[in-house]
């Protein structure tokens, strides 16, 4: 089944404790992206990647890191999480953005930082 998977689905952590949220897609998509969803703000893009070893900042990159060493994986790293990073996070992929392809979303990761 074609899908985007994220792990973990739920995570409660403490301020400053480094964490990684994994994202993997099995559709051989070029483009991958991370979003955070907050009430009243919709989805805001954190980082995106056009291909392996190519990453770019989105609208809200502060406090986050990403890497794209393999085409299928795009982990999101929070080196020192803070309470304002409590949010719902989504990973997404698409064949290539420039052609107007829709994105396929993972199920989401609900992160709470205390």
Partner 1 sequence: AQSVAQPEDQVNVAEGNPLTVKCTYSVSGNPYLFWYVQYPNRGLQFLLKYITGDNLVKGSYGFEAEFNKSQTSFHLKKPSALVSDSALYFCAVRDTNNDMRFGAGTRLTVKP
Positions touching partner 1 (CB under 8 A) are 4, 33, 35, 40-45, 48, 50, 90, 92, 97-98, 100, 102-108
| Contacts for 94 with CB less than 8 Å, ≥ 6 apart | 29, 30, 31, 101, 102, 103, 104
3-class secondary-structure state, position 3: coil
Q: How many CA atoms lie within 13 A of 65 on its CB side?
A: 9
* Residue 17 Cβ vs partner 1, minimum distance, rounded to whole Å: 25
Of 35 and 85, the one with the shorter C-beta distance to partner 1 is 35
Of 79 and 101, the one with the shorter C-beta distance to partner 1 is 101
Of 62 and 102, the one with the shorter C-beta distance to partner 1 is 102
* Residue 30 Cβ vs partner 1, minimum distance, rounded to whole Å: 11
């Amino acid at each position: 089944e074609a899908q985007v998977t994220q792990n973990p689905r739920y995570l409660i952590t403490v301020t400053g404790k480094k964490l990684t949220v994994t994202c993997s897609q099995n559709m051989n998509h070029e483009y991958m992206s991370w979003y955070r969803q907050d009430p009243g703000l919709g989805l805001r893009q954190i980082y995106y990647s056009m291909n392996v070893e190519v990453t770019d900042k989105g609208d809200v990159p502060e406090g986050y890191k990403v890497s794209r060493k393999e085409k299928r994986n795009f982990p999101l790293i929070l080196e020192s999480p803070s309470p304002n990073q409590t949010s719902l996070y989504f990973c997404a992929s698409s064949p290539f953005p420039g052609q107007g392809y829709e994105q396929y979303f993972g199920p989401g990761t609900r992160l709470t930082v205390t």
